[in-house]
Amino acid sequence: MAYVLIIEDENVIRQSLRRLLEKRQHVVAEADSVESAVREQDLTGFDLIIADLRLPGADGTAILERAPDVPTIIMTSYASVRSAVEAMKLGALDYIAKPFDNDELLLTVERALKEKRLERQNAALKADLDRDYPVSGIVGTCKAMRDVFDRITRVAPTTTTVLVLGESGTGKELVARALHEKSERSDGPMITVNCAAIPDSLIEAELFGHEKGAFTGAVGARQGLVESADGGTLFLDEIGELPLAAQARLLRVLQEGEIRRVGSSRPRHVDVRLVAATHRDLSRLVSAGDFREDLYFRINVMEIRLPPLRERGEDLPDLARHLLERARKRLKSPPMRFSNETMEGIRRYGWPGNVRELENAIERAVILSDSTVITPDILGLRPDDAPQPDTASPGLSLEDYFRQFVLANQDHCTETELARRLGISRKALWEKRQRLGIPRRPRMEESQEG
């Protein structure tokens, strides 16, 4: 049901429209001119206005100035492209010509009301987020997170390049989205690229595009992801994995605002704001010759460092409850809560996979729980789970923390349990063991895992 105002000077048409809309359960008010509508009605109380273009006194488009926030459909028997364009320029939501088809009119009305509903829902959701969480739904009140929020607020309105640092699972993409949404580019695109997920042989073509015939399989020209971000924000996640050749091309984008598609000699101008993220120590990569020093200085203009979850002790209860509420709504489960023992376990556990691991564990618990109370065993926590927040050395890299966690737990955990607690697959655990030189100790249970 919606509240609709019809402004039409011909009584027959006005009554016909009224009957048509009332059959759809809408509440209808009438006026025969803009002047009488303004005089007799509270225009802000309507969900939709349908006004004839030619009326006694002021034209129907005059209502647009009197009720700028109410969607308005203009109708006229003087159908022409010119009058339609002029009405739309003045702010009309849509336009319909008389004599109109009833079904066509109803479709136009329903489309207008749907857009209005979506607009209100989006405004309400945004208001809730802005009220509850200072930055795009990121939960946190500890000092480290308040510093993150402060930096986001300060740098978002600028065009400054931002480098987001933090372990895997700490929410680096959420920070990038907050920077985009609070910038003057928020109406433009935000293109997200995981540099680690694209093979080295394809990454230049993916980022910068290619011309037809540039390489085997290039059957046509293709726009790259950098070009797709023109006028908006380009988020390069795991930028430390970018090959040196692609780094050189990216440097030119930052220095000259230009790209050159693979196989093309003609540069193209682009206007993008770069946000980069990594869990790796870029200064070490520079020293090892794996990352360009000039690119490092270009992207490290403003740094935002996200703390690991083990350093956000006072945030854990609120964050866990927020994630539980979100998961159970998404899964359409009844209201649920953590037991006191579970909340204590959440506080004590080190969460090497950070927020992503906590979120995955909570979602799994919501699915598996037969009760409205989530217990430690359902969440997958045990009394001897390690590491403790206060036993982890501050400033550890992700690799060092991984090494410490595996060595501390592999004597009493199977590979499956280790992988689950780390928030990764067994294959990823094996690959990381190989890369870091951490031998796997044989266990009787593991031989039975299959």
Query: What is the domain-level CATH number for residue 243?
Result: 3.40.50.300
- Cβ within 8 Å of residue 427, ≥6 positions away: none
Res. 179: pLDDT tops 90 = yes
Name which residue leads in pLDDT, 400 or 212. Answer: 212
Residues 242 and 385 in one domain: no
| pLDDT at residue 97, rounded to an integer | 82
Q: What is the CATH number of the domain that holds 381?
A: 1.10.8.60
Residues 212 and 267 in one domain: yes
pLDDT in tens, 352-391: 889 999 999 999 999 999 889 999 988 887 655 544 433 4
Given phi > 0 = left and psi -120 to 50 = alpha, else beta, which region is 354?
A: left
Residues 75 and 222 in one domain: no
Residue 271 lies in a domain: yes
Q: What is the CATH number of the domain that holds 46?
A: 3.40.50.2300
Alpha carbon 396 to chain centroid distance? 29
Query: CA dist 104 to 46, 249, 446, Å?
Result: 21, 52, 67
Residues 60 and 93 in one domain: yes
**337: enclosing H helix or E strand:** strand 337-338
Which one, of 92, 87, 123, 98, lies nearest residue 17 by Cα?
98
Number of domain units in the chain: 4
Phi, psi of 146 (to 5 degrees): -65, -35
Q: How confident is the model at residue 402 (pLDDT cuts 50, 70, 90)?
A: confident
Q: What is the 3-class SS of 64-75, one letter each residue?
A: HHHCCCCCEEEE
Burial class (CB in 10 A: 0-12, 13-18, 19+), 191: buried
Residue 69 lies in a domain: yes
Residues 24 and 113 in one domain: yes
Res. 1: pLDDT tops 80 = no
Which one, of 427, 444, 443, lies nearest residue 435 by Cα?
427
Number of H helices, E strands in the chain: 20, 14
Which one, of 323, 243, 250, 322, lies nearest residue 290 by Cα?
243
Give the residue-averaged pLDDT of 45-65. 89
Residues 422 and 286 in one domain: no
pLDDT in tens, 9-33: 999 999 999 999 999 889 899 999 9
Res. 248: pLDDT tops 80 = yes
Q: State which residues form the domain around 271.
A: 143-305
Residues 83 and 36 in one domain: yes
Q: pTM score > 0.75 for this model?
A: no
pLDDT in tens, 314-343: 899 999 999 999 999 889 888 899 999 999
Residues 103 and 150 in one domain: no
Residues 300 and 352 in one domain: no
Does the bond joining 335 to the residue before it have cis omega, within 30 degrees of 0?
no
| pLDDT at residue 80, rounded to an integer | 62
Residues 211 and 330 in one domain: no
